[in-house]
A and B are shown apart, each in its own frame.
Chain A
Amino acid sequence: KNQVEQSPQSLIILEGKNCTLQCNYTVSPFSNLRWYKQDTGRGPVSLTIMTFSENTKSNGRYTATLDADTKQSSLHITASQLSDSASYICVVSAGGWADKLIFGTGTRLQVFP
């Protein structure tokens, strides 16, 4: 069964600190992995997209890693800001490049001053 699991479910950190969110997946065939940021009451916004051959990809203070062998990905946030408070969703695409998306349950991040 295709599944995407994320941990932790929720996380509280102080402004300026770093944090790492985890994503484990059992999706076959694997096509690509995406990280999205979803603010409360808004639609998801793409942060990174990685294919099988990519190990890391950065987008500003966000750095995603992918280990296709262990089927794990992480999203590292550097020097967190209050505006980073949101849900972060790991999404794995099964099949072709634009095929079915399997959503993780998300990690709810809260950044406090």
Chain B
Amino acid sequence: GAVVSQHPSRVICKSGTSVKIECRSLDFQATTMFWYRQFPKQSLMLMATSNEGSKATYEQGVEKDKFLINHASLTLSTLTVTSAHPEDSSFYICSARDLNSYGYTFGSGTRLTVV
């Protein structure tokens, strides 16, 4: 079945630094990838939609200059949290839409802790 690899699974960084999270579709091509944020005991909240070769579409209230998204190929999208602050600490999850089956496959998530 479709597999999405997300790295790193956990990261701790200092305030003011930047962190990059990678999302790869391993066995299918994904023209569209999605980035979510999840707070404890809450459901996933869509942050942005990433389309290969074009700019990402951000949801209302999400700062595009803070959460930089790059979708350089059909199998890779990256989310960079710039100038991280403790309030950015959260669980970030990506998903990829299979071009052929239209199924959505989620990555395993990244736990970001900003100290």
* Chain A residues at the B interface, C-beta cutoff of 8 Å: 34, 36, 41-46, 49, 89, 97-98, 101, 103-106, 108
* A to B contact number (C-beta, < 8 Å): 40
Asked whether B79 is an interface residue with its Cβ less than 8 Å from the other chain, the reply is no
Task: Known contacts A41-B111, A42-B109; decide if A103 and B103 are in contact (CB<8 Å).
Answer: no
Number of B residues with CB within 8 Å of any CB on chain A: 22
Q: How far is the CA of A101 from the CA of B97 in the complex (A)?
A: 11
Establish whether residues B106 and A43, one from each chain, have CB atoms under 8 Å apart when the complex forms: yes
Asked whether B42 is an interface residue with its Cβ less than 8 Å from the other chain, the reply is yes
Kindly list chain B residues whose C-beta atoms are within 8 Å of the C-beta of A108. Answer: 41
Q: How far is the CA of A49 from the CA of B34 in the complex (A)?
A: 19
Task: Known contacts A42-B108, A43-B108; decide if A105 and B43 are in contact (CB<8 Å).
Answer: yes
